[in-house]
Amino acid sequence: MTYEIEIGRGKRGRRAYSLDDIAIVPNRRTRDPKDVSVSWQIDAYKFDMPVIAAPMDSAMSPETAIALGRLGGLGVLDLEGLWTRYEDPQSVLDQIAGLEDESNSPAVTRRMQELYQAPIQPELITSRLAEIRAAGITVAGSLTPQRTQEHYKTVVAAGVDIFVIRGTTVSAEHVSKDHEPLNLKQFIYELDVPVIVGGAAGYTPA
């Protein structure tokens, strides 16, 4: 039975639950943990750990993507982050870590915006993905819909195994006056590598 709640004038939504709201308990039968597999597969790539790490500079670097891959998960590198904007991003990351701990501070926000104004360098996309590939694990990189048309050829040529398209909210089609529209259905169909789309906020884009 679907439980709906009022979310606005004339609008209703289905109630959702987090892990804090539910408990899973055994009923008539339990199963030996040794008989259970949590592995998963996309296309030809199989993973023993059901974890996809978020493509964020605060979570993923080439080094952490490699470490997670060796553990059986999938690390996704943000190809619009600091690792593809700076030859040596560690000094920039250290600078961010040293900013005053006030997320709402205008000065902190302004400095973060300045650091991310550096252009994305295609050669760094290639070298970062090559670094991950050299470790012998599945290579995954992420672009937003806004940057996909501009950089996807570089990403594919660099030998990415899984292409991730991710945004705060991803729609079925992204349009811009600066480049051709990105129709996700057509793009995924024509691309030679498997694609994971993150941030689809409804049934239509999904």
Range of the domain at 150: 28-85+120-200
Alpha-carbon Rg for the chain, nearest whole angstrom, is 20
pLDDT tens string 85-121: 999 999 999 888 888 666 667 888 888 899 999 999 9
Number of domains in the chain: 1
User: Is position 49 within any domain?
Assistant: yes
User: Is position 193 within any domain?
Assistant: yes
User: Is position 20 within any domain?
Assistant: no
The C-alpha atoms of residue 144 and residue 120 are separated, in whole angstroms, by 13
User: Is position 91 within any domain?
Assistant: no
- Name which of 192, 153, 160, 152 is nearest 62 in CA terms: 160
Domain containing residue 63: CATH number: 3.20.20.70
User: Is position 75 within any domain?
Assistant: yes
Buried b (16+ CB within 10 A) or exposed e, 24-52: eeeeeeeeeeeeeeeeeebeeeebeeeeb
User: Is position 55 within any domain?
Assistant: yes
pLDDT tens string 151-199: 999 999 999 999 999 988 777 777 777 777 788 888 889 999 999 988 8
The C-alpha atoms of residue 12 and residue 8 are separated, in whole angstroms, by 7
